[in-house]
A = this chain, B = another copy of it.
Amino acid sequence: MANSASGDSVVDRVVRVIEAFPEGVTSLQLTELADRAGIPLSSAHRLVRQLSEHGLLDLGVGGTVRLGLRLWELVNRNSPTLALRQAAMPFMEDIQQVLNQNVNLAVLDGWEALFVERLSRRGSVANRARIAGRMPVHISSAGLALMSHQSRELQAEYLEQFQDPSGKVTADVVRHFLAEAAQHGYAQLAGVVDPDTWGIAVPVVNGKRRTVAALGVVVPLAEMRLQALVPALQTAARGIGRQLGD
């Protein structure tokens, strides 16, 4: 026994500690954290204490561990999506005002759409699609809008490895969706979380003609009017793209 019996580096462990928090959980007991991260308690304790001395974690009195405010601050100040979000925010507010629907902004990460910003429909009670949430490409309008405007190579690679865990969707179906989205310039899809809602998303293209994000809305089926929604979204998306430069 010495520098890690399990053969992982300090960096590995730091990552595992941060990753150990289940989605939406903000605090964990030290023992549970050590357990989840697969680190011996004494090592976990030392590591957590070190990190909390730097403010990346917050080790409370009874062994309660939270992510540190300082970490949140650093990440949000220097976030890779900072410029995107700043450029998009005013346009997203426009959409929110004009259409009065839930508006969201997503980027592609791996084979998933990662939602980086969101504005709720005024008066809406629950806002399901949380910020920093993920959705697989093939079951989100944002994902389809993003993927349908990527390079042929990336799309091929995506379709190559595609496999729907539930077995409901085949690669051919997805291929069809992507082709349709590429042709129309927007993607639409029946809501997954809520069957009575539809998602519509359009690509956001930067100065280099690269699709860097998708701007979308989630609307109740009853209010689904493509003729009204798509032009508004496309206009806003073009505005965002112009702000981005690059």
Contact = CB atoms under 8 A, between A and B. Distances in A.
Interface residue tally on A, bucketed by range: 35 or more
A47 interface: yes
A73 B110 CA distance: 13
A107 B79 CA distance: 20
B76 A132 contact: yes
Given A23-B78, A26-B82, A77-B130, 16 more contacts: A11-B50, A12-B54, A19-B74, A21-B74, A24-B78, A25-B78, A26-B79, A27-B80, A67-B78, A67-B80, A68-B80, A73-B132, A77-B132, A89-B120, A90-B120, A93-B122
A34 interface: no
Tally of this chain's copies: 2
A107 B68 CA distance: 13
Contacts of A51: 11, 15
